[in-house]
A and B are shown apart, each in its own frame.
Chain A
Amino acid sequence: MRRRVLTLTAALGIAGVAAVGAGAGAASAAPDAMVRVAHFSPDAPNVDVYVNGTKTLSDVAYPTVSTYLKLPAGQYRFQVRPAGAAASSKAVIDASSRLSSGSAVTVAAVGALATIQGKIYSDDLSAPPAGKGKIRVIHAAPSVPAVDVGVANGPTLFRGATFPSATDYSAVAAGSYPLQVRAAGTRNTLLSATQAVRAGSIYTIAAIGGFGKPVRLLPVVDAAGMSSMPAGGVATGAGGTAPGSSGSAGAGALALGAGALLAVGSGVVVRRRRSGSAAGG
Chain B
Amino acid sequence: MPRRKVRSGGRVLPAAGTACALAVMLTACAAGVGDRSAPPAPTGSPAASPAPALRALPPASGTVTARSIPAAAEPVSLTIPAVGITSRLARLHLTPGGALSVPAAFDQAGWYSGGPRPGDIGPAVLAGHVDSTTGPAVFYRLRDLKPGDSVRIRRGDGTVAAFAITELRQYPKNAFPTDAVYGPVPAPELRLITCTGVFDRDRSSYRSNLVVFATLKRP
Which residues of A line the B interface, CB within 8 A? 1, 3-7, 20-21, 23-24, 28, 31, 34, 36, 64-68, 104, 112, 125-128, 133, 142-145, 174-176, 178, 180, 183, 188-202, 209-248, 251-252, 255-256, 258-259, 262-266, 269-281
For window 67-87 of B, CB contacts with A under 8 Å fall at: 67-69
Count, chain B residues at interface, CB 8 A = 112
| B23 partner residues in chain A, CB cutoff 8 A | 1, 218-219
B35 within 8 Å of A (CB atoms): no
User: Measuring CB to CB, which residues of chain B are less than 8 angstroms from any residue of chain A?
Assistant: 11-20, 22-23, 25-29, 31, 33, 37-42, 45-46, 48-49, 52-54, 62-69, 94-95, 97-100, 102, 106, 112, 114-116, 120-123, 125, 127-137, 139-140, 143-144, 147, 166-180, 182-187, 193-199, 201, 203-211, 218
Contacting pair A145 B131 (CB below 8 A) = no
Given contacts A216-B52, A223-B184, contact A196 B69 (CB under 8 A): yes
A236 in contact with B167 (CB, 8 Å): no
Query: Are A213 and B49 also in contact (CB < 8 A) when A245-B199, A247-B131 are?
Result: yes
Q: A64-B16, A219-B19, A230-B100 are in contact. Are A258 and B143 (CB under 8 A)?
A: yes
Bound state CA distance, A252 and B143, in angstroms? 12
On whether A212 and B65 interact (CB within 8 A), knowing A269-B180, A280-B205, the answer reads: no
A68 touches B187 (CB 8 A): yes
- Find the residue from B66, B123, B187 having the highest chain A CB count within 10 A: B66
B178-A196 in contact (CB<8A): no
Complex CA gap A251/B135 in Å reads 9
Q: Is the CB of A228 within 8 A of B94?
A: yes
- The docked-state distance in angstroms from the alpha carbon of A274 to that of B177 is 7
Determine whether the beta carbon of A209 is less than 8 Å from that of B52.
yes
Q: Which of B33, B115, B167, B195 contacts A20 (CB 8 A)?
A: B167
CB <8 Å contact, B18 and A236: no
A1 and B15 CA atoms in complex are apart in Å by 14
Q: Is the interface of A mostly helix, strand, loop or mixed?
A: loop
Q: Distance in Å from the Cβ of A23 to the closest Cβ of chain B? A: 3
Contact residues in A for B67 (Cβ distance below 8 Å): 198
Q: Which residue of A lies closest to B121 (CB)?
A: A224
Q: List 9 A-B contacts (CB under 8 A).
A: A5-B11, A196-B22, A196-B68, A221-B186, A223-B186, A240-B131, A251-B140, A269-B177, A281-B195
Q: How far is the CA of A252 from the CA of B25 in the complex (A)?
A: 55
Docked CA distance A272–B127 (Å) = 21
Q: A194 — which chain B residues lie within 8 A by C-beta?
A: 25-27, 62-64
Q: Which residues of chain A come closer than 8 Å to B29, judged between CB atoms?
A: 180, 189-192
Contacts of B52 in A (CB 8 A): 191, 209-210, 214-216
Residues of B contacting A266 with CB < 8 Å? 171-172, 175-177
Closest Cβ of chain A: how far from B115's Cβ, in Å? 4
Which residue on B lies nearest to A38, using beta carbons?
Answer: B15
Q: Are B135 and A247 in contact (CB under 8 A)?
A: yes
* Min CB gap B102→A, angstroms: 5
* A202 to B182 CA separation, bound complex (whole angstroms): 14
Task: Give 5 A-B pairs besides A5-B13, A248-B136, A271-B180 with Cβ atoms closer than 8 angstroms.
Answer: A183-B37, A219-B18, A230-B112, A236-B129, A266-B175
Q: How far is the CB of A235 from chain B (nearest CB, A)?
A: 5
Question: Which residue of the partner chain B has the closest CB to A278?
Answer: B173
10 closest pairs, A vs B, by CB?
A233-B173, A237-B195, A23-B167, A242-B199, A215-B52, A278-B173, A225-B184, A224-B122, A230-B100, A223-B184
How far apart are the CA atoms of A258 and B145 in the complex, in Å?
A: 11
Residues in A with CB closer than 8 Å to B198 are: 242, 256
Asked whether, in the complex, the Cβ of A143 is within 8 Å of the Cβ of B186, the reply is: no
- Contacting residue for B48 out of A6, A211, A272, CB 8 A: A211
How far does the Cβ of B128 sit from chain A's closest Cβ, in whole Å?
Answer: 6
Q: How far is the CA of A23 from the CA of B211 in the complex (A)?
A: 13
Chain B residues within 8 Å of A212, by CB = 48-49
A7-B11 in contact given A216-B52, A265-B169 (Cβ < 8 Å): yes
In the assembled complex, the Cα of A64 lies from the Cα of B37 at a distance in Å of 27
B45/A211 in contact, CB under 8 A: yes
Residue among A143, A214, A242, A280 making CB contact with B39, cutoff 8 Å:
A143
Provide the residues of chain A in CB contact with B183, threshold 8 Å. 125-127, 225, 229, 271, 273
